[in-house]
A and B are shown apart, each in its own frame.
Chain A
Amino acid sequence: MFRETALGRRKRRVEVVARWVLLGMSLALIVPLLLIVVYLVVKALPALSLGFLLDPPVRGMRAGGIWPALLGTIYLVVISLAVAAPIGILAAVYLNEYARDNWFNRLINLAVINLAGVPSIVHALFGLGAFVLAAHIGKSILAASLTLAVMTLPVIIASTREALASVPRPFREACWNVGATRWQTIRAVVLPNSISGILTGVILQVSRAAGETAPIMFTGALFFKAVEKGDIFAYGLFEQCMALSMHLYVIATQVPDVPEAIPYATAVVLLGAVLLVNATAIVARIFMRSRKKW
């Protein structure tokens, strides 16, 4: 009754090929990541310990730990997000919920998209010119954080808008129909149902801000600074600081005779921090999606 035709056979063959090719591509994605992680961890193993995290580097960065750099990166990321997240989220709410489709808002959109594509070294030069020199902040944590904020802002705006746009329009119309203002609608329906997407977008920018070297190199990152072991208030807002990405660059290329394990261990810490943050984003998203309401 169901005799297979030539076309049916061909469709089935294509189906099998497609499945395996696509699976192969997915594996090809994972393999290098695993290789990198395993390679790094194996190389780093001799140096890794809790002391490595909490100790300052000693003997011209050829021994000891990475505490000042780790702390500096945390400072930079936290401050840059404290600036970029509120501005980015509120701007995205305006653009998505209030802005009419006119030339001015289209211009803003265009600017946001293009800004997101600007290479980080250009942001670095902008930060140097705008914050360090023109605004007279000087090379400092503040200037570097602001530079990172400018770099992450357009992406936060874009991801937030995407999250807001995923809330179906009929929900908004239902609210308007009963006499709710736009803001009441946003508060009651739009934000609660897009907050997981918004936070995911913001958290993903943490890893980007933590990993970039160029923007902070000219604006506030330091070669070396003496910091007490485990001191969490080592830096002031207007001081320069060390940072993980910069530190890695320095010990890998600028300082001779660094034991091999130390740069690898630094890289593992940076990678681990990024993975930790991303994992937090994923868990947060799963948690909030489980409360999603439609």
Chain B
Amino acid sequence: MVTPPKTIEVQNLRLAYGPKEVIHGISFDVRRHEILGVIGPAQSGKTSLLRCINRTIEFTPGVHLQGAVRVDGEDVQKVRDVFALRRKIGMVAPLPVGLPLTIYDNVAFAPRCSGMRSRSELDGLVEQCLRQAALWDEVKDRLKTLGTKLSGGQQQRLTIARALSHQPEILCLDEFSIAIDPVTTMRIEEVLKELRKEMTIILVTNLVQQARRLADRTMFLWNGEIVELDRSDVVFSEQPRDRRTYEYVNGIFG
């Protein structure tokens, strides 16, 4: 079997906030066009990990990072144009954030930031992203109204549309379903199944079943260490390699 090329390589990553180390030297790869599920209880370093990948970790004062995160073979710490790096990675935060702009401007913000000015190009891109995020039909008649006035579930899909608006190759979702209802969650999961054809997805979730439904491989992160990383059918089987995985997945601890 041919192993697909690696999109992200994490090598011996250590991360500390001040004196407190939260990620204790983890290594793993994310392959091209796979969905990697990341499960684990709160405080296990899932969000910090994502923030290392797009380097928004550096907005937090006092962080100390060791090891390497490579995106397409390039060490992100050495990337000159960090904004280009972030454009390559779509990031969806746990709580929906509609920017206090119109729905249209929410999606057009990133392309405008990178210099896209043509109205027709922007129109096309906005429509495409909103369609991909399964929001277009609900908002196409009111693109000029405020994004913040949408419902929570709609705002989360707007957030996804915004994350797609800079045409990323990687999409990171950080517990995207935490603040939205199950029906919307299922709709977004359908969206992700479509998107996996064209991009690599890291799905951080504390809904174990969500990882089981979507992820090709699943990583169980606990207290800043990888307990297990394997094909989802192994992780969620009766006999994963580590007993703790079985217990966490089946709700016995965590």
The answer to whether residues A175 and B109 also contact, given A188-B101, A293-B100, A294-B100 and a CB cut-off of 8 A, is yes
Contacts of A292 in B (CB 8 A): 100
The stretch that binds A, out of B30-38, B90-98, B133-141, is B90-98
Report the separation of the CA atoms of residues A292 and B149 in the bound assembly, to the nearest whole angstrom.
Answer: 11
Report the separation of the CA atoms of residues A294 and B56 in the bound assembly, to the nearest whole angstrom.
Answer: 24
Closest beta carbon of chain B to A198's beta carbon, Å: 16
Closest beta carbon of chain A to B117's beta carbon, Å: 14
Asked if B54 lies at the interface with its beta carbon under 8 angstroms from chain A, I say: yes
Contacts of A173 in B (CB 8 A): 56, 59, 93, 97
Q: Are A100 and B61 in contact (CB under 8 A)?
A: yes
Contacts of A188 in B (CB 8 A): 99, 101, 109, 113
Which one, A100, A101, A174, contacts B99 given CB within 8 A? Answer: A174
A interface majority secondary structure: helix
In chain B, what residue has the closest Cβ to A190?
A: B100
Asked if B87 lies at the interface with its beta carbon under 8 angstroms from chain A, I say: yes
Q: Are A181 and B83 in contact (CB under 8 A)?
A: yes
Q: Mark B71-88, 1 if CB is under 8 A from A, else 0.
A: 000000000000111110
Report the separation of the CA atoms of residues A193 and B113 in the bound assembly, to the nearest whole angstrom.
Answer: 19
Closest beta carbon of chain B to A103's beta carbon, Å: 13
Report the separation of the CA atoms of residues A181 and B86 in the bound assembly, to the nearest whole angstrom.
Answer: 10
Q: Are B162 and A178 in contact (CB under 8 A)?
A: yes
**A170, A173, A174, A176 — most chain B CB neighbours (10 Å):** A174
Q: Mark B104-126, 1 if CB is under 8 A from A, else 0.
A: 00000110011000000000000
Asked if A280 lies at the interface with its beta carbon under 8 angstroms from chain B, I say: no
Asked if A287 lies at the interface with its beta carbon under 8 angstroms from chain B, I say: no
Asked if A276 lies at the interface with its beta carbon under 8 angstroms from chain B, I say: no
The answer to whether residues A293 and B148 also contact, given A173-B59, A178-B166 and a CB cut-off of 8 A, is yes
Q: Are B113 and A174 in contact (CB under 8 A)?
A: no
Asked if B159 lies at the interface with its beta carbon under 8 angstroms from chain A, I say: yes
Which one, A170, A179, A293, A294, contacts B110 given CB within 8 A? Answer: A179
Report the separation of the CA atoms of residues A98 and B1 in the bound assembly, to the nearest whole angstrom.
Answer: 50
Report the separation of the CA atoms of residues A239 and B148 in the bound assembly, to the nearest whole angstrom.
Answer: 53
Contacts of B84 in A (CB 8 A): 179
Asked if A189 lies at the interface with its beta carbon under 8 angstroms from chain B, I say: yes
Contacts of B101 in A (CB 8 A): 188-189, 293
Asked if A254 lies at the interface with its beta carbon under 8 angstroms from chain B, I say: no
Closest beta carbon of chain B to A276's beta carbon, Å: 31
Closest beta carbon of chain A to B185's beta carbon, Å: 20
Asked if B52 lies at the interface with its beta carbon under 8 angstroms from chain A, I say: no
Q: Are A177 and B83 in contact (CB under 8 A)?
A: no
Report the separation of the CA atoms of residues A179 and B169 in the bound assembly, to the nearest whole angstrom.
Answer: 14
Report the separation of the CA atoms of residues A250 and B79 in the bound assembly, to the nearest whole angstrom.
Answer: 67
- Contacting residues of chain A (169-203) with chain B, CB-CB under 8 angstroms: 170-171, 173-181, 184, 188-189, 192-193
Contacts of B219 in A (CB 8 A): none
Closest beta carbon of chain B to A95's beta carbon, Å: 14
The answer to whether residues A176 and B146 also contact, given A181-B113, A192-B100 and a CB cut-off of 8 A, is no
Report the separation of the CA atoms of residues A171 and B98 in the bound assembly, to the nearest whole angstrom.
Answer: 8
Q: Are B56 and A177 in contact (CB under 8 A)?
A: yes
Q: Are B109 and A180 in contact (CB under 8 A)?
A: yes
Asked if B188 lies at the interface with its beta carbon under 8 angstroms from chain A, I say: no
In chain B, what residue has the closest Cβ to A184?
A: B113
Asked if B165 lies at the interface with its beta carbon under 8 angstroms from chain A, I say: yes
**B54, B101, B113, B114 — most chain A CB neighbours (10 Å):** B113
Contacts of B98 in A (CB 8 A): 294
In chain A, what residue has the closest Cβ to B100?
A: A293
Report the separation of the CA atoms of residues A294 and B113 in the bound assembly, to the nearest whole angstrom.
Answer: 22
Contacts of A177 in B (CB 8 A): 54, 56, 86, 91, 93, 163
Closest beta carbon of chain B to A271's beta carbon, Å: 38
Report the separation of the CA atoms of residues A181 and B146 in the bound assembly, to the nearest whole angstrom.
Answer: 23
Report the separation of the CA atoms of residues A173 and B165 in the bound assembly, to the nearest whole angstrom.
Answer: 16
Q: Are B86 and A178 in contact (CB under 8 A)?
A: yes
Closest beta carbon of chain A to B134's beta carbon, Å: 19
Contacts of B159 in A (CB 8 A): 174
Report the separation of the CA atoms of residues A193 and B83 in the bound assembly, to the nearest whole angstrom.
Answer: 24
Q: Are B86 and A170 in contact (CB under 8 A)?
A: no
Contacts of A193 in B (CB 8 A): 100
Q: Are A176 and B110 in contact (CB under 8 A)?
A: no
Q: Are A174 and B100 in contact (CB under 8 A)?
A: no
- Contacting residues of chain A (6-60) with chain B, CB-CB under 8 angstroms: none
Q: Which residues on B are within 8 Å of A, measured CB to CB?
A: 54, 56, 59, 61, 83-87, 90-91, 93, 95, 97-101, 109-110, 113-114, 146, 148, 159, 162-163, 165-166
Q: Name 20 extra pairs, CB < 8 A, besides A178-B162, A180-B113, A293-B148.
A: A170-B95, A171-B97, A173-B56, A174-B93, A176-B56, A176-B59, A178-B87, A178-B110, A178-B165, A179-B85, A179-B86, A179-B87, A179-B113, A180-B83, A181-B83, A188-B99, A188-B109, A293-B101, A293-B146, A294-B148
Q: Which 5 A-B pairs have the closest CB atoms?
A: A293-B100, A178-B110, A179-B87, A179-B86, A177-B91
